[in-house]
Amino acid sequence: MSGKRKPDLKVIIMGDYAVGKTSLVCRYIEDKFIKHEPTIGAAFFLKQWGPYNVAVWDTAGDERYTGLSHFYCRNAGAAILAYDMSNPQTFESLWARFMPLLNSSTEKCLKIVVGTKMDLIPPEERDITLEEGRKLAHELNEGLDISKLACEPYFETSSKDGSHVSEVFECIFQYCLPLSGDQRSKFGLSTSTVDLYEKEPKRATAKKGCC
Amino acid sequence: YEMQNKFLTKEILELNELRQHDVDREKLLLMNRAELEGDYLQTRSKYLYLLKKVETPVLGGEKEDSKRQEIIKQLLDDAIESEKSQKEADRHRLFMSSQSCQEYDRYGFQKLMVDDDEDLILSRAGQLQQQSDILNAEEVTSHHVKWENFMVGQSGKYLVRSHELKTLIRSGIPHDHREKIWQGCIHLHVGETKHKLGHSYYTDLVKRAKTSKYNPAAKQIELDLLRTLPTNLHFESLDSDGIKKLRQVLLAYSMHNPIIGYCQGLNRLVAIALLFLTEEESFWCLVAIVDHIMPEDYYTKTLAAAQADQRVLKDLVQEKLPKLYNHFENHEVDLSLFTFTWFLTVFVDNVPPETFLKVWDSFLYEGSKVMFRFAIAFLKLVEDDILLQDGALAINRYMRVIGEKLTNSKRIIQIAFHELNPFPMKSVASRRHYHLQQIRVELAELDLLRQKFSAQEINDERRDYYSDDDLDN
């Protein structure tokens, strides 16, 4: 079998139902924001990253289908754990449902926590703070050397307006399949990966003040 | 006598009215015909003109050539123009009646529009060709006649299973009779249950669903309403006519069968039923599918029977399409990634409406085993294409859009019910049983693992920071 035709990296996306997993992938791959039918089982997307092929697996959110997800996790190089920023329960689900799945199947898998639907929630009304998000993201990656990661393993995105969506994927790709600056410009990719949150550290910390 | 007289007079008046109606219709049709004939002749003359121009030998060299191209361009522009005005007219008709128009098909699904003008002409030409094939084919006519005869004989009676009816349904139910025949099929499955539960069962469920405070399914149902058939006219927005019915049927079902409650996929089944049936009939259709037609445990928490079916399918692919099976195996592509959703939504997901409705026809009459026939027929139809895909990535990419290729429902039916034979149902049943047992064992093992893990998790400090939240409140 020709090794070349297998994807060089497999990324899976998990999270509760209707948090916007499919929307996130579609915004990145097709740069579109449209209504999606609920995903049943899983769906497959392909992305070219420089000379590499990346397969992105979009999984179903319905609890019934997570039983099948351990199959999709096999050989995943990275996992995106998505939660809906306007619904704190979906954050808790990352612990309760998806952690066990990942722990058992993929030790070396990079985990990125992604908040979705940022456009729906004003900063002062959010339940999960930036710190909480980052904390979870770091804990999920215990035992993995993420010092080479160009950014925090935590993102807050909006697939509706496109904020920070491509950053999520490019951060993962750059970590798993590093491209040199030359390669990046050759394939028409931006040459820097700026962590956007470092530039606006104030926006998410409002609530934390009372603790 | 007076009564009789009155009755006959009335009859005469009615007949007269009918006759008048027919005369009007005939006039209208004649006019339409004349118009169409005019269009046709015009098109033909343009075509002949074009042919002649293309045929004339090039004498004047480049000059002549550019002139010809100009003419061709002119004709193409004409064609595009008339296509556009046709679309306008069709759109206009949409406001008069919601039936058949350019942008939505007769089921209310949005048609895929091609942006490019040139492509538009080509795809339109293809469509017209197909339509005229359908209109002309003798077998289609005879198929319709058979159905008409059957419907006349049926008039008002309950459906009775027969070999003749099975064959007829396998060839597809004509649009006009689908409602009646689906009703009949549903009755075959749930007639007795319905009788037992009483005629107000559905309305009671709806009432109960409205007053019940705690229904874990309700939230998820609400989230899925607009994600059910987002491209269908009847389910487009929260005010669309289908959405309210969809919500009520799903809520009622979650009350009716609390073990299942709601499972993603059920929403599509109901939506398709609602395209042809009333709200209450659609509820019974869902009951028929989930409680009767599908094996037990198809939509329950573990989806055990649905998982088993994927293994059965794999066995059958190995048997019926060994080359394809090896191709998937060699490239480590898991077929169930693409077929699982077919089975759970009875092919509504990722398959064109004209095709999945044919599956539904025999599915509702014969039962869940026809899903294997169709799944394998789909794969066989595009087998050569899949075999051409070299590498796991290419196969995956192809399989993701396989639905677009599944438009030739006539051919699919031919494969499903003839070329795949023999297709003994006994062996399907025994395979189902075997794999279900296997899966139950595996699930039990997995459960044990999970229990161990969560016991470990509770002792872990990692959950501590949630107490921060508690302090906040």
**Which CATH number characterizes residue A158's domain?**
3.40.50.300
Question: Which residues of chain B register pLDDT less than 70?
Answer: 52-65, 68, 83-102, 112-139, 456-473
Mark A150-163 as b/e (b = at least 16 C-beta within 10 Å): ebbbbbbbbbbeeb
pLDDT, one tens digit per residue, over B146-171 is 888 888 888 778 888 999 999 999 99
CA dist B190 and B211 (Å) reads: 26
Q: Which of A109, A102, A83, A86 is nearest to A16 (CA)?
A: A83
- Give the C-alpha distances (Å, rounded to integers) separating A28 from A152, A159, B308, B376: 19, 8, 34, 33
- Of A5, A42, A100, Cβ closest to residue B391: A5
- Of A44, A67, A103, Cβ closest to residue B302: A67
- Give the C-alpha distances (Å, rounded to integers) separating B64 from B54, B58, B295: 11, 7, 71
Residue A3, pLDDT above cutoff 60: no
Tokens 């003419």 — which residue? B71
Q: How many CA atoms lie within 13 A of A76 on its CB side?
A: 30
Which of A37, A59, A126 best tests the B interface by mutation, with the highest count of B CBs <10 A?
A: A37
- Which residues of chain B have a CB within 8 Å of the CB of A35? 226-227, 230
What fold, for B172-293?
Answer: Helicase, Ruva Protein; domain 3 (1.10.8)
Domain membership of residue A65 (yes or no) is yes
pLDDT of residue A67: 63
B301/A38 CB distance under 8 A: no
Q: Range(s) for CATH 1.10.472.80 in chain B? A: 304-428
pLDDT of residue A105: 53
Residue A103, pLDDT above cutoff 70: no
Please give the CATH number for the structural domain made up of B304-428.
1.10.472.80
Secondary structure element (H or E) that encloses residue A82, with its range: strand A78-84
Lowest-confidence region among A38-47, A197-206, B230-239, B258-267: A197-206
Domain membership of residue A113 (yes or no) is yes
Residue A1, pLDDT above cutoff 50: no
Q: Which of B57, B50, B89 is nearest to B71 (CA)?
A: B50
- Which residues of chain A have a CB within 8 Å of the CB of B220? 17-18, 62
Provide DSSP, B114-128.
Answer: P-SHHHHHHHHHHHH
pLDDT of residue B93: 47
pLDDT of residue A211: 36
**Backbone phi, psi, residue B423, to 5°:** -135, 70
Host domain of residue A174:
9-186
Å between B190 CA and nearest CA of chain A: 26
pLDDT of residue B206: 95
Q: How many CA atoms lie within 13 A of A42 on its CB side?
A: 25
What SS3 class is residue A201?
coil
pLDDT of residue A24: 95
User: In chain A, whose CA is at the least distance from the CA of B336?
Assistant: A41
Domain membership of residue A30 (yes or no) is yes
| Residue partners of B318: CB distance under 8 A and separation at least 6 | B325
- Of A17, A127, A139, Cβ closest to residue B220: A17
Instruction: Tell me the residue type at B339.
Output: T
pLDDT of residue A195: 43
B223/A17 CB distance under 8 A: yes
- Which residues of chain B have a CB within 8 Å of the CB of A127? 469
Domain membership of residue A42 (yes or no) is yes
- Which residues of chain B have a CB within 8 Å of the CB of A4? 391
Q: Range(s) for CATH 1.10.8.270 in chain B? A: 172-293
- Which residues of chain B have a CB within 8 Å of the CB of A64? 263-264, 299-303
The number of residues making up chain A comes to: 211
| B397 inside 8 A of chain A by CB | yes
pLDDT of residue A200: 42
Percentage with pLDDT > 70 across chain A: 82
| B229 inside 8 A of chain A by CB | yes
Partners of A13 in the β-ladder: A58, A80
Strands of A9-15's sheet in order across: A42-49, A52-59, A9-15, A78-84, A110-116, A154-156
How many domains does chain A fold into?
A: 1
Contact B303, B311 (CB under 8 A): no
Contact B345, A40 (CB under 8 A): yes
- Give the C-alpha distances (Å, rounded to integers) separating B353 from B106, B181, B229, B288: 10, 18, 11, 21
Which of A60-69, A196-205, B171-180, B457-466 reaches the highest mean pLDDT? B171-180
pTM score, two decimals? 0.74
